[in-house]
Amino acid sequence: MSAGGLVVRRSTGEPEIVLGRRNRPREGMHWTLPKGTPASGESVEDTALREVEEETGLAVRIVEPVGSIHYSFVQHGSHIDKTVHHFLMVPTGGSLASHDHEFDEVRWVPLVDAPHLLSYETEREIVERARPQIEAFLEREPA
């Protein structure tokens, strides 16, 4: 299990989302949403808050759940079934320049461009599924 967030804001009138880029020698370059695994005894929400802050450099607040994605992969010869819980989040402070080593780059991306950049189908799907929710939230929030 992992947890993370779709960190959003409205900039120059258009919704934006935070994505991170990893470049690994064996895996190549990947754009992903910030997420990670829980520490011992940590709630799903606390995991999402901590991981997003560590990986992006932004302090964030959870607005509401967005949904979960499920996928499988093989790691060190073992088959892993994974669920990632995502939350709609807004920044409350911090700076992208303070992101940790897990991402080589972290940046704000127009929401409409995110599905074209994201490397994994499941993450593209969660962003597309959450798009009406994100837009409705940003319409309610003061700029």
Instruction: Break the chain into its structural domains and give their ranges.
Output: 2-140
Contact, 80 vs 74, CB < 8 A?
yes
pTM, two decimals, is 0.92
Helix or strand run (H / E) with residue 114: helix 114-117
Q: What's the confidence (pLDDT) of residue 73?
A: 83
In angstroms, rounded to a whole number, what is the distance separating the alpha carbons of residues 121 and 71? 10
Distances (CA, A) of 142 to 11, 46, 138, 139: 12, 26, 8, 8
Query: Quick count: other Cβ atoms within 10 Å of Cβ 140?
Result: 8
Q: 2-140 architecture in CATH?
A: Alpha-Beta Complex (3.90)
In this model, does residue 120 exceed pLDDT 70? Answer: yes
Contact, 123 vs 6, CB < 8 A?
no
Q: What's the confidence (pLDDT) of residue 113?
A: 96
What percent of the chain lies above the pLDDT cut of 70?
99
Mean pLDDT of the chain: 94
